[in-house]
Amino acid sequence: MITVLEDSFRLAQAFTISRGSKTEARVLTLRIDRDGKVGRGECVPYARYGETTDSVRAQIESLPEGITREELQSALPPGAARNAVDCALWDLEARQKGCRVWQLAGLPAPGPVTTAYTLSLAAPDAMRTAAAVHAHRPILKIKLGTPDDMPRLEAVRAGAPRSTIIVDANEGWTSEVYAELAPHLLRLGVALVEQPLPAGQDEMLAEIARPVPVCADESCHDRASLPGLKGRYDVVNLKLDKTGGLTEGLRTRDAARAMGFGLMVGCMVGSSLAMAPAVLLAQGADWTDLDGPLLLAEDRPHPLRYDEAGAHPPDANLWG
């Protein structure tokens, strides 16, 4: 039996990107009950990809009882619905067989991964204050994406002079704004620029030098999207809500590596249940951005553990 529930988790503070703000993480929690065992997964329907809570729920509820992970890959397209079901089926199989998901997948035992911590878009003074509060963190990811981002970037660097900085424009810049900012990104020691231009309007990235590596987020979904990114991007950001689950996530990771891309593993703003499978995907990645639970005021029981070593693999009581 498949059960879909809508859950909401309060954020510790408002989270803002170039497309808007939120004060809670609204997710769908999936539960699959079979033969006395229960598998769980979580997804975040995302309007940017044409998803709503209702549309994702309808996709999930259209599936036949007893569907397998391999059948699922063709039954639903990449996206949030397939992600929740895929991860729940991994969890279910691990519980049925009395082992961990990484053993099922033939992966080495995972360890903690160093994750970026995200500072949301705000006025420069507020971003400097936030950067100073989190200056002890090794990697800060700052949300930008407006024509007036230079003062924000300078403010964050002043607030956290020793942290590695990733910039995420969330498709918010034009080619002119990006060309103007690019030399300053290098000057301020930015290590990576994520999705500076809108997906489908990023041709100029193939025509210019990229002294700061550029990462595809909204432009990258699953394996099928990778060939079109060659020459434009240096790194791809894999999120399970885009790949449609861990199964395709692992396949996309391997394909991206074979094509020479660097790897980031990211997330939507969700709970520890959503991050748990992503920690497996993030093993060996160049960059990890799995800070969703760190942005929450409340989380699941048996949450992921975060400390100076990073985000730790999930407890079996949570997932996997």
Residues known to be catalytic: 143, 239
The β-bridge partners of 193 are 167, 214
Q: Which of 235, 288, 277, 295 is nearest to 105 (CA)?
A: 277
Residues 6+ apart with CB under 8 A from 237: 194, 195, 215, 216, 217, 220, 264, 265, 266, 289
Q: Where are any strands of DSSP class E within 93-233?
A: 117-119, 139-143, 164-168, 190-194, 214-216
Strand locations in 125-230 (E): 139-143, 164-168, 190-194, 214-216
The three-state secondary structure class of 37 is strand
Whether the Cβ atoms of residue 297 and residue 11 lie closer than 8 Å to each other:
yes
C-alpha distances in angstroms, 22 versus 13, 44, 90, 148, 289? 9, 13, 30, 22, 19
DSSP 8-state assignment for residue 193: E
Residue 231, CB half-sphere, CA atoms under 13 Å: how many? 7
Strands (E), 220-298: 235-238, 262-265, 287-288
